[in-house]
Amino acid sequence: MNDLIIQNIQELILPKSTDKPLKGRELDELEVVDNGTVVIKDGKVVYSGPHTDDYEAKEVIDASGKVVSPALVDAHTHLIFGGSREHEMSLKRQGKSYLEILESGGGILSTVKSTREISEEDLFKKAEHDLLTMIKHGVLTVESKSGYGLDKENELKQLRVSNRLAEKYNLNMKHTFLGPHAVPEEAESNEAFLEEMIELLPEVKEYADFADIFCETGVFSVEESKRYMEKAKEAGFKVKIHADEIDPLGGLELAIDEGAISADHLVASSEEGKAKLKNSDTVAVLLPATTFYLDKNDYADARGMLNNGGAIAVATDYNPGSSVTNNLQLAMAIAALKLKLSPNEVWNAVTVNAAKAIDADAGTINQGDQANIVIWDAPNHEYIPYHFGINHAQKVIKDGKVIVDNEFKLD
């Protein structure tokens, strides 16, 4: 006997199972089944496809008028941090740039101070609240970065919290060491601090899957980023990079040359970098909510990357300074509006391709897959990025069991 059948599904979204990320025109290829059925047993998908009466189960969910999809994958978050930075809103209104706020001791350095001061238990509780919000909005696979400690003690504190969250909720979480996220005020120089972070790589390997670096004007150069990435690979890490967010330094080209699993931001990437994506499996993780929050006019050139045959994903970049949202559905809407992605492209970018960007077994619900599923209170898959700013997730199913039920009922 099966455990659960979801039947009468208005639209069943079935991203393609693939060994490599979807590239170029492939991103617009998405199987959408009308009147679908999903059958689950022992936490796995037994069947997903057109309506069938061939199965029985202990529980049946009627999804008439609903959309069903794989649970979402948020492939770029800064989930673990102390404090908040709402006071910077007034600086933004005065026209202060991100780098100007950073240079005045705000920005990342403000969050570093708060993260250093908060206890590990309080940091855990704060991150737990934010993670549960993500889950309520349909995300069951999350990448979580450090980078607000900028010293051994506090980078490890962040990574321990991230690992504890994954263990407590038995979640598919990936953990990223982003020690070189900024240069702390006490550092003698960029070079000295970078060496300190390189020396920390063997110790953080116990807690982290990836190593990441912020390659940007005023932070770390392409040459410094290259040295860090190569040392990280020697230490057994897969590598990522925050690249070309503000200035076109060549971070995307470096990521491709170094075989990075992803290059993230890429608002200012060069034409040469975008052209190189074609012959690479590096995923360009685009963060449109960041551009929106920073009130910038220029968004990452998603269409150019796809036209060059590249692979892209979309994520929130949830953090306290430049993308203060842990609602991936909102990032989906901004991606549709500002990155000019089709609905099919948006869905693939937050499921299968997002999973490839963090080397996670997630983003699909084909036979044999883990039954991590969302039932959406929406008439079709185009409606969810269209009707923005609210939570459309009605039920979130993890390993075949309903763990979130947002259905509103009046007595």
Which residues carry a binding-site annotation for Fe(3+)? 76, 78, 242, 317
List binding-site positions for N-formimidoyl-L-glutamate.
148, 319, 321
Contact 333/389 with Cβ under 8 angstroms? yes
Two tokens at 277? 């994506």
Helix spans in 12-119 (H): 88-93, 98-103, 108-117
Q: Which helix (H) or strand (E) holds 168?
A: helix 152-169
Count CB atoms within 10 A of the CB of residue 405.
13
Q: Which residues touch 362 (CB under 8 Å, ≥6 apart)?
A: 70, 71, 73, 140, 141, 172, 351, 355, 370, 372
Q: Which residues touch 398 (CB under 8 Å, ≥6 apart)?
A: 71, 140, 372
Q: What is the DSSP letter of 92?
A: H
List binding-site positions.
76, 78, 85, 148, 181, 242, 245, 317, 319, 321-322
Q: Which residues touch 247 (CB under 8 Å, ≥6 apart)?
A: 216, 217, 268
Q: Which residues pair with residue 70 across a beta bridge?
A: 373
Q: Which helix (H) or strand (E) holds 211?
A: strand 210-211
Two tokens at 67? 């959309």
Contact 22/41 with Cβ under 8 angstroms? no
Tokens 């997002």 found at = 354
Pairing state between β 373-376 and 67-70: antiparallel
Q: Which residues pair with residue 243 across a beta bridge?
A: 215, 265
Contact 348/156 with Cβ under 8 angstroms? no
- Among residues 49, 9, 28, 70, the alpha carbon closest in space to that of 350 is found at 70
List binding-site positions for Zn(2+).
76, 78, 242, 317
